[in-house]
Amino acid sequence: MKPSIYITRKLPESIIAPLQKEFEVDMWEHEDVSVPRDVLLHKAESASALLTMLSDKIDRELLQRSPSLRVVANLAVGHDNIDLEAAKELGITICNTPDVLTETTADLTFALLMATARRIVEADRYVKEGKWKSWSPLLLAGLDIHHKTIGILGMGSIGEAVARRAKGFNMNVLYHNRSRKYAVEQDLGVQYATLEKLLTQSDFVVVLAPLNEDTEGMFQEEQFLLMKNTAIFINAARGPIVSEEALEQALKRGDIAGAGLDVFEAEPIDADHPLLKLHQVVALPHIGSSSKETRYGMMALCVENIHAVLKGKKPSTSL
């Protein structure tokens, strides 16, 4: 009997074709709807491999109920949806998709920063809604980006890529990380800072840290009060790092000038969420790595990793 693979979102046939030649492949029929929990549990019970999305909860219950499971390939660099400890205990290989999405996510992060600072989304709506009747000196005036200070929380590969882009805008780059990166400081000309210094001195605070017990809920009222009232806050990492209630109040009080968000505490976000009612917020549907080239690359890497494990070989990327 061939090993079976369950894919939790509809992917292009061209991507899964290599797996179909050697394995039994079953795939959720929807591209933009998450597989229900009960369906996922049922399918996982007999699967040798899972190709999962960040929205799929791969917890201890699921892993323990899946005796044939050998590998989970997560279509993301993050893995906070997976119980890594349980997987290790059960001998299940967990793979993710780092590196392939680094530059694409950095592009989106910097685009989000620019759109928020220069009020691009507001300006687009202004024109399309027929409000542009004349020109005035301060019409939709935003904030400069060049020669400002950017503070990057989380200097991993994506953080480094954002820092390189910032240097192209002649920005001063501060960073805060769990450990200092002396080689990066030398190569990119960035400066390590305590979190407090980063928050107080930065014109743009960009969150790119992983979600873990140290970063969950890191941004509360206290952190926003430390920031400049002209500062822009960007979160392209994970929603639960930030208290959305604290962010909302900081924006309403004018403690900070604006926010660009690609991630939220609960996703997808409800249309009547209070943050979406604020004109100084630019909101995106978690599309940091969403270019066609990169998403296809991520899918291909997942397929490659699954094939390797099921053939008794070492995957290209594993946790």
Asked if residue 150 belongs to a domain, the reply is: yes
Asked if residue 317 belongs to a domain, the reply is: no
Percent of the chain clearing pLDDT 90 (strictly above): 98
Asked if residue 58 belongs to a domain, the reply is: yes
Give the pLDDT mean for 105-130.
98
Same domain, 60 and 127: no
pLDDT tens sequence across 133-154: 999 999 999 999 999 999 999 9
- Give the Cα separation of 197 and 77 in Å (integer): 29
Burial zone of 29 (CB within 10 Å; 0-12 exposed, 13-18 middle, 19+ buried):
exposed
Q: Both tokens of residue 57?
A: 């909860």
Q: Which residues pair with 72 in a beta bridge?
A: 50, 94
Asked if residue 315 belongs to a domain, the reply is: no
- Give the Cα separation of 56 and 138 in Å (integer): 46
CB of 275 closer than 8 Å to CB of 261: yes
Model pLDDT, residue 113? 98
Model pLDDT, residue 78? 87
CB of 156 closer than 8 Å to CB of 210: yes
Model pLDDT, residue 143? 98
- Tally of domains in the chain: 2
Asked if residue 316 belongs to a domain, the reply is: no
Long-range contacts of 272-276 (CB under 8 A, 24+ apart): 273/244, 274/248, 275/244, 275/247, 275/248, 275/251
Enter the DSSP assignment of 297: H
Q: Kind and range of the H or E element at 124?
A: helix 120-128
Same domain, 114 and 241: yes
Asked if residue 319 belongs to a domain, the reply is: no
Model pLDDT, residue 265? 96
Any idea how long the chain is? 319
Catalytic residues: 238, 267, 286
Give the pLDDT mean for 150-165.
98
Coil, strand, or helix at residue 174? strand
Asked if residue 77 belongs to a domain, the reply is: yes
Pseudo-torsion of CA 298, 301, 306, 312, nearest 10°? -160
Contacts of residue 92, defined as CB under 8 A and 6 or more positions apart, other chains included, come to 63, 69, 70, 71, 72
Determine the distance from the C-alpha atom of residue 13 to the mean position of all C-alpha atoms in its chain, rounded to a whole number: 26
Model pLDDT, residue 6? 98
Give the pLDDT mean for 122-136.
96
pLDDT at 110 > cutoff 90 = yes
pLDDT tens sequence across 196-254: 999 999 999 999 999 999 999 999 999 999 999 999 999 999 999 999 999 999 999 99
- Give the Cα separation of 260 and 232 in Å (integer): 8
Model pLDDT, residue 1? 81
Residue-range definition of the domain harbouring residue 116: 102-283
Q: Which residues pair with 174 in a beta bridge?
A: 151, 191
pLDDT at 289 > cutoff 90 = yes
pLDDT tens sequence across 39-86: 999 999 999 999 999 999 999 999 999 999 999 999 999 899 999 999
Asked if residue 179 belongs to a domain, the reply is: yes
Q: pLDDT tier at 115 (50, 70, 90 boundaries)?
A: very high
Model pLDDT, residue 55? 92
What CATH number is given to the structural domain containing 81?
3.40.50.720
Enter the DSSP assignment of 52: E
One-letter-per-residue 3-state SS of 85-112: HHHHHHCCEEECCCCCCHHHHHHHHHHH
Model pLDDT, residue 25? 97
Same domain, 298 and 269: no
pLDDT tens sequence across 246-286: 999 999 999 999 999 999 999 999 999 999 999 999 999 99
- Give the Cα separation of 271 and 288 in Å (integer): 20
